[in-house]
Amino acid sequence: MLDPKIATVAVLAAAYIGFIFFTKKRTLIAILGALLLIVLGAISWQDAFYAINWNIMGIFVGMLIVADIFMDSRVPARLAEIIVDRAPNTAWAILFLCALTGFISAFVENVATVLIVAPVALSLAKKLKFNPVNMMIAIAISSNLQGTATLIGDPPSMLLGGFAKMSFGDFFFYQGRPSIFFAVEIGAIVSFVVLYLFFRKLKDKNRAIEIEQVKSWVPTGILVTLIILLAASSFFDADFSCLAGIICMAAGVVAILWKKLIDKGNIIKSIRALDWDTTIFLVGVFVLVGSLTVNGWIEIISNYLSTLVGSNIFLGYTLIVFLSVFLSAFIDNVPFLAAMLPVAVSMSAKLGINPSLFLFGLLIGASLGGNITPIGASANIVACSLLKKEGYDISFKEFGKIGLPFTLTAVTAAYLFVWFIWSK
């Protein structure tokens, strides 16, 4: 039988190549890869089961359900329309939409956030007769940036939270120091200047647009309550073992019951419409990456990188951040981050430093690097798909014209902040 170490690398390499060239088949590739590893004996059924972070799965699925009813309530769309209507000109309307996108994305998965804001943005473009491409790119990359700021913003943040046992509150202050939230916000402030430079010439005054009718404020109440409970859960589950996942799933059940009993919605249709593709993809990725740990590859990779950087902590930190930025521009950041988290901890141990420095740097690089290309993040793919329906095809060059400077400014600012706070 094939050596488990070789089987793990061969299957993982094949899966990553598949993720790059067959984006729409990524879930099938991940699951087939995970099953192949089990069949080849590279990981047992038991190890595969325990490799899946069920707490993270609970958070993700629960948030999908809550985000779905929140989007359907039309509250976000109403807020977006009010902002557009009151903005002094088109440029500021776009910037305000990006800011609203970022705010929503800190608490709602990025793809859902883009779907919430996109209809208003496209409507604005049609009424004012301007090309919506740059605006939609800006909305997508804004959602990716702020999705990193909180535990529930996007799967990469959930992965870090689950791996490092970080609670909702730990993303704001961790071990007595400012945490990842503030690094992201500093990056957002700096990168906002980049967006302003792109849109500053759009000086037309906005015309009043039709005000969206809010269906119900109940979903907003459910979402706010969920956030409060997640923040409080850290006092009762310091190890981030299962409570956050249970809370999110409970909120999802409440949302489903409300939709059926009060809103008279079709539960089956709503459940089918959820992002099950990403959910199953996450399961497959957990198993793929778990096989690396089981077969000792994390230690091998860590030893190699540690030898490469020697005792130079700054070099190691810089390598992790910008290597993550480059790779995440072309491959899915979820499997990359999942694979690199244990490597970052192992490297930190060899250098005798607080692992938070490398972990936070890794999250920033992996999450924001996806903003460079149209295939680097799911939100980008969705935004490009919506534009294609409107008759606009986006090239890598066109996307990178905004995505690259936005990413480099945001990453650099966050990278420096994390270094100065966590390098000591």
List, for residues 363-419, the tens digit of each pLDDT value: 999 888 888 988 777 788 778 877 877 788 788 888 889 999 999 999 999 999 999
Instruction: Kindly tell me if the per-residue pLDDT of 207 is higher than 70.
Output: no
Phi, psi of 178 (to 5 degrees): -60, 135
CA distance linking residue 153 with residue 143, whole number of Å: 9
CA distance linking residue 240 with residue 408, whole number of Å: 32
pLDDT-derived band at 185, boundaries 50, 70, 90: very high
CA distance linking residue 94 with residue 378, whole number of Å: 21
Instruction: Kindly tell me if the per-residue pLDDT of 239 is higher than 80.
Output: no
Res 187: pLDDT: 93
Q: Average the pLDDT over 165-193 and give the result.
A: 92
pLDDT-derived band at 141, boundaries 50, 70, 90: very high
Q: What percent of the chain lies above the pLDDT cut of 90?
A: 21
CA distance linking residue 423 with residue 217, whole number of Å: 44
Instruction: Kindly tell me if the per-residue pLDDT of 136 is higher than 80.
Output: yes
Q: Average the pLDDT over 6-29 and give the result.
A: 84
DSSP 23: G
Q: Which helix (H) or strand (E) holds 174?
A: strand 173-174
Instruction: Kindly tell me if the per-residue pLDDT of 153 is higher than 90.
Output: no
CA distance linking residue 57 with residue 64, whole number of Å: 11
Res 147: pLDDT: 86
Could you count the other beta carbons within 10 Å of the beta carbon of residue 225?
14
Give the relative orientation of helices 356-369 and 155-164 as an angle to the nearest 10 degrees: 170
Could you count the other beta carbons within 10 Å of the beta carbon of residue 389?
8
Instruction: Kindly tell me if the per-residue pLDDT of 254 is higher than 70.
Output: yes
pLDDT in tens, 80-93: 777 777 888 888 88
User: In terms of DSSP bridges, do strands 173-174 and 177-178 run parallel, antiparallel, or are they unpaired?
Assistant: antiparallel
Q: Average the pLDDT over 200-210 and give the result.
A: 71
CA distance linking residue 285 with residue 291, whole number of Å: 10
Instruction: Kindly tell me if the per-residue pLDDT of 14 is higher than 80.
Output: yes
Contact 101, 188 (CB under 8 A): no
Res 33: pLDDT: 93
Instruction: Kindly tell me if the per-residue pLDDT of 208 is higher than 70.
Output: no
CA distance linking residue 328 with residue 407, whole number of Å: 12
Res 196: pLDDT: 92
Res 31: pLDDT: 93
pTM attached to this predicted model? 0.76
DSSP string, 238-277: TT-SSHHHHHHHHHHHHHHHHHHHTS---HHHHHHTS-HH
Instruction: Kindly tell me if the per-residue pLDDT of 206 is higher than 70.
Output: no
Q: HSE of 337 in the Cβ direction (CA atoms, 13 Å)?
A: 32
Instruction: Kindly tell me if the per-residue pLDDT of 261 is higher than 80.
Output: no
Contact 337, 160 (CB under 8 A): yes
Res 269: pLDDT: 74
CA distance linking residue 414 with residue 94, whole number of Å: 24
Percent composition of the chain: helix, strand, coil (DSSP 3-state, to 5): 75, 0, 25
H-helix segments, 262-377: 267-272, 276-294, 297-309, 313-328, 333-351, 356-369
Q: Average the pLDDT over 289-315 and give the result.
A: 80
Give the three-class secondary structure for 329: coil
Res 49: pLDDT: 92
Res 211: pLDDT: 66
Q: Average the pLDDT over 35-60 and give the result.
A: 87
List the domain boundaries for the chain.
Answer: 53-422
Q: Is 196 left (phi over 0), alpha (psi -120 to 50) or beta?
A: alpha
pLDDT in tens, 322-367: 988 988 887 667 777 888 888 888 889 888 889 999 999 999 998 8
Mean pLDDT of the chain, nearest integer: 84
Taking CA atoms, 286 is separated from 141, 162, 259, 337, 346, in Å, by 26, 12, 32, 11, 19
pLDDT-derived band at 180, boundaries 50, 70, 90: very high
CA distance linking residue 392 with residue 394, whole number of Å: 6
Instruction: Kindly tell me if the per-residue pLDDT of 171 is higher than 90.
Output: yes
CA distance linking residue 280 with residue 331, whole number of Å: 18
Res 231: pLDDT: 72
Count of residues for the chain? 424
Burial 293-323 (b: 16+ CB within 10 A, else e): bbbebbeebbeebbeebeeebeebbbbbbbb
